[in-house]
Amino acid sequence: MTHLTIEPSILYVGTPVELLSTENSDGTFNLAAMSSAWALGEVVVLGLGDNGQTAENLRHRPELVINFPAPDLWENVERIAGFTGRDPVPAAKQDRFRYEPAKFEAAGLTPIQSELVRPPRVAECPLQFEAGCVRGQAVPLPQVRSADNALVRREVLGKDGGPASWRNPLSKLSHPKPEGVAPGNGYSHVVTGPGRWVAIAGQVSLDADGELVGEGDPEAQAKQVFANLGRCLAAAGATFADVVKLNFYVTDIAFLPAVRTARDKHIDTTNPPASTAVQVVSLFRPEALIEIEAYAVAAD
C-alpha cells in the first residue's frame, strides 16, 4: 500500500460531520462545519475553537441547530471548510481561512425555519437537532491552542419519512383533559409532570443591549420576546418543550394573533402549554406592547 503525504484543509477523518447554524449579532446566521461532537445521555458535547464565530455566537445567543449531512453532501461541506464567519479573521486563522458572511449560499445549502429556535435548519440534511447551549467551558488541549466544550440539550427533527418531530425524551409532561371544561382553543387547561421548576420573568422585546426591537410592531415584538424566552430557558437547561404555562400581557387584545403566530413556531401545537392572556393599560416601558412570562418543568 502506498501512502501519500497530504495537507487537508480540515481534519475530517471519517467521523460524522456536523453543520452548526447559529445566530450572529446582527440577526443573520452563521453555518460552520465541525466533527468534534459526541453524545452523552440526552446531551451533545461539541468541541469548538474558542476564537471562531460559532463559539462567539453561543456565548451570547445559545440557540443552535446541529445538522447532520448525508455523505453525498461532502462537496457542500468542503466548500465552506476554509471560511470563517468572524470579521476580522482571527490571527490564528489568517493563514488558512477567509471571511465569508453568506455561508449557506457559499455551501449551496438551503436554510429553512426551525420550529423551536431562531437559527435555521439545513433543508438538505436528513437529521437536525434543534438545541440550546447549556454551558461552555474553555479546556486547554495538548498541542492545540484551546477549545470550548459546549454542552447542549437538543430537540430532534426527522426528515424523509422519519418522525415529524422527536420531542425531548426526558420530558414527562402530560396534558390531562378535565371533564366538564370546554376544550381550550390553542392552549391546554392542565399541564403536569415531574422535574425541576423553572420560572422565567416577564420578557419584553429588548435586545441584548437593552434596546427595544419593533417599536409599534406587535409581530416584531412578539418574535423578539420568544427569542428572549428561549435564551432564558436555555440558561436554565430547559427548552420550549418543557414549558407548562405562558402568561401573556398585551396593551391591546388585538395583538394576540401576532403572539400566537410567534408562539406556534416554538411549541408543540398538538400539546400546547397552559396560558393566560390579559390586556393591560401599559407595560413598564410605554413603547412595549407585549410581555410574556413562562413557567417550565425541566427534566432532572
Residue 264 has pLDDT above 50, yes or no: yes
State mean pLDDT over 247-254.
Answer: 97
State mean pLDDT over 230-243.
Answer: 88
Q: Are residues 261 and 149 in the same domain?
A: no
Q: Are residues 25 and 153 in the same domain?
A: yes
Residue 212's domain comprises 196-298
pLDDT tens across 114-170, in order?
888 899 999 988 888 888 887 665 544 433 333 344 545 444 443 333 322 333 434
Q: Are residues 116 and 202 in the same domain?
A: no
Inside any domain, residue 187: no
pLDDT at residue 172, rounded to an integer: 66
Q: Are residues 74 and 206 in the same domain?
A: no
Q: Are residues 143 and 32 in the same domain?
A: yes
Inside any domain, residue 273: yes
Q: Are residues 22 and 110 in the same domain?
A: yes
Cα–Cα distance measured from residue 266 to residue 292, given in angstroms and rounded to the nearest whole number: 14
Inside any domain, residue 11: no
Q: How many domains does the chain have?
A: 2
pLDDT tens across 177-204, in order?
888 899 888 888 998 888 889 999 999 9
Cα–Cα distance measured from residue 32 to residue 66, given in angstroms and rounded to the nearest whole number: 10
Inside any domain, residue 6: no
**Within 10 Å of residue 61's Cβ, how many Cβ atoms?**
22
Cα–Cα distance measured from residue 217 to residue 222, given in angstroms and rounded to the nearest whole number: 9
Q: Are residues 144 and 72 in the same domain?
A: yes
pTM over 0.85: no
Average pLDDT, the chain: 81
More confident residue, 211 or 134: 211
Q: Are residues 154 and 211 in the same domain?
A: no
The continuous run of DSSP H or E covering 134 comes out as strand 127-141
What's the sign of the alpha-carbon dihedral 240, 241, 245, 251? positive
Q: Which of 133-147, 254-268, 274-288 has the lowest mean pLDDT?
A: 133-147
The four Cα atoms 266, 272, 274, 276 give a dihedral, to 10 degrees, of: 60
Which among 136, 158, 180 is the end of a domain? 158
Which among 140, 158, 176 is the end of a domain? 158
pLDDT at residue 280, rounded to an integer: 96
Q: Are residues 29 and 141 in the same domain?
A: yes
- Is residue 278 very low, low, confident or very high in pLDDT (cuts 50, 70, 90)? very high
Q: Are residues 101 and 153 in the same domain?
A: yes
Backbone angles phi, psi at 13, to 5 degrees: -120, 55
Inside any domain, residue 184: no
Residue 111 has pLDDT above 70, yes or no: yes
Inside any domain, residue 170: no
74: left (phi over 0), alpha (psi -120 to 50) or beta: alpha
pLDDT at residue 274, rounded to an integer: 95
Inside any domain, residue 9: no
The CATH number linked to 50 is 2.30.110.10
Inside any domain, residue 74: yes
State mean pLDDT over 88-110.
Answer: 88
Q: Are residues 250 and 128 in the same domain?
A: no
Partners of 44 in the beta sheet?
A: 39, 152
More confident residue, 40 or 244: 244
Q: Are residues 26 and 150 in the same domain?
A: yes
